[in-house]
């Protein structure tokens, strides 16, 4: 799927946020288009996760507005369009007796409602979600028995079960080994290009931004840069983000 730059699905205008007297975000404005694969990067403590939480309506900004699919955030109700894989999604009690399939079913209940039983149609959608992330053969395994990379794929399937238009992911590869990370990013590219899902990722791997993302947003309380990765790489934005003594060498994924 190609990016539709004339169709904004998320609009962020003049967003600021503070914890008490401590400013976290200052006057951030940009749009996310249908089909984007947006990488949000910045130093630790730069406000990336807070910005994501503002977009999801989990925290209220001090100033500014967010619009989701053309509606003000406070009036938006169609949350099945939004998928979310939070930071450290795999950080749970490994002894908790829940299977892979049961985890993904939780995402389907978000679409159907907790009071309604899942139908055969729902189960077929769950099968497809597990298949799409390569985890159908593990459906009866306990989630705690899987590797970190496999668990993260299951949580992607849970997000997919709600049939979202956009998925937000907060540092999804923390604690995942390098080989699993490569497979994970290949999966995300597939979701974006083949299934047309807009992706919004917080991540630290600048190589992934340069090689995979269609857009990059650099955050350090303010918006340092928003645009194409190739222009970001050519500019001096890394120095603005991380300081003048940084040297970065790109390598292909």
Q: What is the mean pLDDT of the chain?
A: 87
Give the per-residue pLDDT at 250.
Answer: 46
Size of the chain, expressed as the number of residues it contains: 253
Give the per-residue pLDDT at 173.
Answer: 78
List the single range of 45-49, 95-99, 109-113 with lowest mean pLDDT. 109-113
Q: What is the 3-state secondary structure (H, E, C) of 12-56?
A: EEEEEEEECCEEEEEEEEEEEEECCEEEEECCCCCCHHHHHHHHC
pLDDT in tens, 216-234: 999 999 999 999 988 887 7
Domains of the chain, each with CATH number or no CATH: 4-242 (3.40.50.300)
Q: What is the 3-state secondary structure (H, E, C) of 141-152?
A: CEHHHCCHHHHH
Give the per-residue pLDDT at 163.
Answer: 94
């Amino acid at each position: 799927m190609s990016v539709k730059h004339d169709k904004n699905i998320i609009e962020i205008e003049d967003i600021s946020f503070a914890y008490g007297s401590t400013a976290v975000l200052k006057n951030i404005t940009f749009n996310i288009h249908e089909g984007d694969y947006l990488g949000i990067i910045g130093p630790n403590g730069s406000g990336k996760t807070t910005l994501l939480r503002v977009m999801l309506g989990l925290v209220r900004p001090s100033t500014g507005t967010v619009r989701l699919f053309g509606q003000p955030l406070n009036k938006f109700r169609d949350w099945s369009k939004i998928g979310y894989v939070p930071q450290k999604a795999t950080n749970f009690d490994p002894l908790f007796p829940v299977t892979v399939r049961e985890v993904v079913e939780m995402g389907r209940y978000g679409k159907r409602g907790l009071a309604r039983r899942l139908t055969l149609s729902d189960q077929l959608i769950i099968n497809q979600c597990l298949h799409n992330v390569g985890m159908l053969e593990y459906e009866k395994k306990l989630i705690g028995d899987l590797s970190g990379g496999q668990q993260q794929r299951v949580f992607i399937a849970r997000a997919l079960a709600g049939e979202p238009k956009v998925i937000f992911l907060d540092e999804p590869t923390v604690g995942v080994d390098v080989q699993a990370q490569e497979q994970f990013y290949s999966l995300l590219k597939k979701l974006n290009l083949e299934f047309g899902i807009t992706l919004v990722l917080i991540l630290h791997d600048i190589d992934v931004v340069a090689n995979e993302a269609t857009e990059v947003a650099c955050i350090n309380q303010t918006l340092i840069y928003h645009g194409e990765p190739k222009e970001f790489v050519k500019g001096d934005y890394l120095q603005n983000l991380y300081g003048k003594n940084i040297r970065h060498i790109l390598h292909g994924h």
